[in-house]
C-alpha cells in the first residue's frame, strides 16, 4: 500500500484496519487517509456503528429500524451509488 492510499484501497481494507490486522505502516497510511478524506471517514464511522445497530435491531425483531440506522444506510448507499472517489 502506498503512503497515501486511494479511496478504493481504503474501502478494500477497512475491515482489516478496524480489526488491527494490518501492518503498522499500512495502518498509519490508512489513518492518515481517514484524517484527510471526509468521505472515507464517514464510511468508516458507519462501518463501526453496524454491529451495535445490528444488535439493537435483532433484540427487537418486530420494531421498525431506528432512524439512525436508516440514515446511515441511506448515506452509505448514496456514497456507493456515487461511484468511486479515486
Residues 1-56 have pLDDT tens digits of 667 899 999 989 998 998 899 999 999 999 999 999 999 998 898 888 877 777 77
Q: Which of 12, 82, 5, 86 is nearest to 44 (CA)?
A: 12
Q: Burial-class residue 7 by CB neighbours within 10 Å (0-12, 13-18, 19+).
A: middle
- Measure the CA–CA gap between 79 and 13, rounded to whole angstroms: 17
Calculated CA dihedral for residues 59, 62, 46, 42, nearest 10 degrees: -150
Please give the model's pTM, rounded to 2 decimal places: 0.60
* pLDDT 10s digits, 49-75: 877 777 777 777 787 877 887 888 888
Amino acid at each position: 500500500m502506498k503512503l497515501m492510499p486511494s479511496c478504493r484501497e481504503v474501502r478494500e481494507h477497512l475491515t482489516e484496519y478496524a480489526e488491527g490486522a494490518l501492518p503498522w505502516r499500512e495502518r498509519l497510511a490508512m489513518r492518515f487517509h481517514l484524517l484527510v478524506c471526509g468521505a472515507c471517514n464517514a464510511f468508516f464511522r458507519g462501518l463501526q456503528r453496524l454491529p451495535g445497530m445490528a444488535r439493537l435491531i435483532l433484540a427487537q425483531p418486530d420494531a421498525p429500524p431506528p432512524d439512525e440506522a436508516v440514515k446511515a444506510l441511506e448515506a452509505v448507499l448514496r456514497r456507493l451509488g456515487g461511484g468511486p472517489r479515486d
